[in-house]
Amino acid sequence: MIIDTILSGDRPRSRLLGALLMAAFLALAFAPFLFPGTKALGVASRICIFIVLAASYDIVLGYTGIVSFAHAMFFGIGAYGVAIALSNLPVGWGAIFIGLGGALVVSAVLAVAIGFISLRLRALYFSMMTLALASFALIVATQLRDITGGEDGLTFSLPHLLAVSYRPFAAPVLGVRIDGRIVTYYLVFTAATALFLLMLRIVNSPFGRVLQAIRENEFRAQALGFSVVLHRTLAGTIGALMATCAGALLALVLRYNGPSASLSFEIMVDSILLMTVVGGMGTLYGPLLGAIVIVLAQYYLQPGMAALAEWTDGVPLLPHLFNPDRWLLWLGVLFVLIVYFFPTGLVGRMRGWTEPDE
């Protein structure tokens, strides 16, 4: 069937999960028309980008069992590649492709080097090394002011087709005036969809099966003749390249890049790792749902708490409990509850609730 071909034979195996995935796809596909407004469009763009980023980390963590803290570094390399190119070269598609191409080369070289050098270490030492590399990358981006803009970052222009002033149609379409921001959104949506389906194809290939075998029993996989270091290095490189592409998309959406936007440790812990664990590791569908849940919480939990505080005004204690300044506390509570009640993630729990679709 066409669906099996598109999904590389990896069906959701849960009617509830399938319905949620279809609803998410349709909501993102028609986001500019269903949720008009600059903020909603920005949230939808960020969801698309972090779906790719979290799924790419799932290839590293969920399918091979590698705990790396350097994934945000590759995300930042992609964003800086496009930002530096558009800031120093004539604005156009050529600059974007040059920046992305250079970033992919740098990420590939670093990922291969990290793989062959560090994956021979024990898991704890490998994690610590990736953490040190991520910190070093953040310091470099901050100190090389002439190239990266330092802490202020880089602001740049985009090709005419993606510029805010671009108007392909004189009249609104379905009540929405199409401009460069919406064109940029659909570029991000299309790229994110293609990258996600590519990753789905990779993890369901014979190579992906070997990665899962290594995750389940490294010694048995090695006894069968598979090179653990080689396969883990390839998995890390694939994840790094996908994260680099996600970073390039972020730069196009923000029209800006700086250390806090793409290289901060908070992105690694509060977004990438959180999305992967909450959604369910080793599924790719898990990080997709996790990205949606976490991004929506980051943007709408605080306004929702403000509304609750106003609605419960006059009730003892509750207005203080729902104070918008405490939104990070409630985000932490949400995370703890999900991990406690859904130890296998949202996808794992839904697949347990619903009979598999044959």
Q: What is the mean pLDDT of residues 318-346?
A: 83
Amino acid at 273: L
Residue range 182-207: average pLDDT?
96
Each residue's pLDDT tens digit, 256-306: 999 999 999 889 988 899 999 999 998 899 999 999 999 998 899 888 888
Dist. CA 293–CA 307, nearest whole Å: 19
pLDDT-based confidence at 56, cuts 50/70/90? very high
User: Average of pLDDT values for 158-165?
Assistant: 92
What's the CATH number of domain 2-353, 1.10.3470, 2.60.40, 4.10.240, 1.10.10? 1.10.3470
358: confidence class by pLDDT, cuts 50, 70, 90? very low
CB 283 within 8 A of CB 344: no
Amino acid at 237: T
Instruction: Please state, rounded to an integer, the average pLDDT across all residues of the chain.
Output: 90
Which band of pLDDT confidence, cut at 50, 70 and 90, is reported for residue 26? very high
Average pLDDT over residues 21-41: 94
pLDDT of residue 102: 97
Instruction: Calculate mean pLDDT across residues 188-204.
Output: 96
Domain positions in the chain are 2-353
With a threshold of 0.85, does the pTM exceed it?
Answer: yes
CB atoms within 10 A of CB 184: 23
Dump pLDDT digits (tens) for 66-80: 888 999 999 999 999
Mean pLDDT of 340-354: 83
Give the mean model confidence (pLDDT) for residues 45-59. Answer: 96
H/E element, 206: helix 206-216
Q: What is the 3-state secondary structure (H, E, C) of 303-341?
A: HHHHHHHHHCCCCCCHHHHCCHHHHHHHHHHHHHHHHHH
User: pLDDT category, 120, cuts 50, 70, 90?
Assistant: low
* pLDDT above 60: residue 24: yes
Residue 155 in 3-state DSSP? strand
| pLDDT at 354 (0 to 100) | 59
Model confidence over 216-261: pLDDT tens digits?
888 888 888 888 888 889 999 999 999 999 999 999 999 999 999 9
Which one is predicted more confidently, 107 or 125? 107
